[in-house]
């Protein structure tokens, strides 16, 4: 794995030059934040609050370190925060309803020899898993849409709100398609072993549809998609508000 890591670093520096150091630094901070999250949760801190705080740190790093234009960065950051709150608000009732937390019968082999009275709230962890899963997708989507929209707005400063929303959707269409692909293909990657095991256990269709792990995976993918969808109108609104206040300032 060390060789693989070295290959990765060498290639990264070859293609990106000095920017590679910034990228590695950002990745380092992200991994460090994740380890902090794990330790804090294992030590018994509240899962949801810890996740919220760490997610904010990660979003700051992911957005401000990758985006040079401060205007784009601040809008993208605001959007990502809002989306994170929305995802929390959607996920909490859905997870409560589905109780798709923790592990299940399919994990039997992995669970052998472990004390299951872990003292960690796995229902809350299920929510945290969805939030963390969405962080990368959400920050990327909001940055892409914000920078796309800002470019349009800067070239035509007298846009009406409907025009800005229309442009937002035309920029958002492509991003929605590609992000759905990313999420869907990752769903394939993580579930094909699961479906294989489920088949060898001889589940019926209704059992698959109600299976804890299958439902958890599908919910994760769907809720992340909802996050991507909502990024478009929220970004458009924020860009519109900013452009509007600028116009007002100019006329004064």
Partner 1 sequence: MKKNLRILLIVGLIVAFVTGLTYFDSFMYHDPVMKVEQVKNLDRSTSTDEYKNTDTQITQRVTGKLLNTSNKGQTVSFKNTYYRSQLTDTKYNVGQQVILTKGYNPKNVKRDTVLVFTVGLVVFLLYCMKFDRRKLFISVLINIAIFYGFMQIIIQKHNSVLLPLTVITALLISATALLVILGPTYQALMAYSSTIIATTAALVLSVFVLGMSGYSGVHVELNDFELQPYKGVFFAQVIFSVLGVILDETMDISSSLIEMKKELTDVKESTLFKSGINIGRELIGPLINILLFIVIAENLNVVLLYLSNGNSIGYTMEMTLSLGITQLLISGIGIILTVPVTSLIASKVITKKVQ
Residues 130-159 that bind partner 1 (CB under 8 A): 130, 132-137, 139-140, 143
161 binds partner 1 (CB under 8 A): no
CA 216 to chain CA mean position, Å: 16
Characterise 203 by phi-psi region: left (phi > 0), alpha (psi -120 to 50), beta (else): beta
Helix, strand, coil share (%) of the chain residues, nearest 5: 85, 0, 15
Least distance CB 250 / partner 1 (angstroms): 28
Q: Which of 211, 234, 238, 239 contacts partner 1 by CB under 8 A? A: 211
Least distance CB 17 / partner 1 (angstroms): 8
230 binds partner 1 (CB under 8 A): yes
Q: Which of 192, 241, 246, 247 contacts partner 1 by CB under 8 A? A: 192
CA distances from 248 to 7, 23, 168, 244, 251 (A): 53, 38, 22, 6, 5
54 binds partner 1 (CB under 8 A): no
**Alpha carbon distance 217, 111 (integer Å):** 19
229 binds partner 1 (CB under 8 A): yes
38 binds partner 1 (CB under 8 A): yes
**Alpha carbon distance 198, 211 (integer Å):** 9
| Piece of 39-47, 77-85, 153-161, 237-245 that binds partner 1 (CB under 8 A) | 39-47
- Residues of this chain, 92-131, that bind partner 1 according to CB under 8 A: 94, 96-104, 106-107, 109-111, 114-123, 125, 128-130
- Using alpha carbons, select from 129, 87, 81, 94 the residue that is nearest to residue 227: 87
């Amino acid at each position: 794995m060390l060789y693989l890591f070295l290959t990765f670093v060498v290639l990264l520096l070859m293609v990106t030059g000095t920017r590679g150091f910034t990228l590695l630094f950002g990745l380092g901070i992200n991994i460090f934040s994740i380890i902090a999250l794990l330790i804090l949760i294992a030590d018994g801190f509240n899962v949801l609050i810890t996740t919220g705080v760490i997610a904010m740190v990660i979003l700051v790093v992911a957005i401000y370190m990758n985006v040079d234009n401060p205007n784009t960065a601040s809008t993208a950051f605001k959007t990502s925060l809002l989306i994170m709150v929305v995802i929390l608000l959607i996920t909490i009732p859905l997870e409560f309803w589905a109780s798709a937390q923790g592990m299940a019968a399919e994990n039997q082999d992995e669970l052998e020899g472990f004390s299951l009275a872990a003292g960690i709230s796995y229902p809350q962890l299920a929510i945290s898993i969805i939030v963390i899963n969405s962080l990368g997708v959400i920050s990327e989507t909001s940055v892409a849409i914000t920078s796309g929209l800002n470019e349009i707005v800067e070239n035509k400063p007298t846009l009406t709100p409907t025009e800005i929303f229309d442009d937002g959707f035309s920029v958002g269409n492509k991003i929605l398609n590609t992000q759905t692909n990313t999420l869907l293909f990752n769903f394939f990657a993580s579930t094909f072993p699961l479906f294989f095991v489920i088949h060898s256990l001889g589940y019926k269709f209704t059992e698959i549809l109600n299976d804890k792990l299958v439902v958890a995976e599908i919910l994760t993918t769907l809720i992340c998609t909802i996050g991507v969808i909502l990024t478009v109108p929220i970004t458009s609104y924020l860009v519109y508000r900013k452009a509007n206040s600028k116009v007002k300032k100019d006329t004064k």
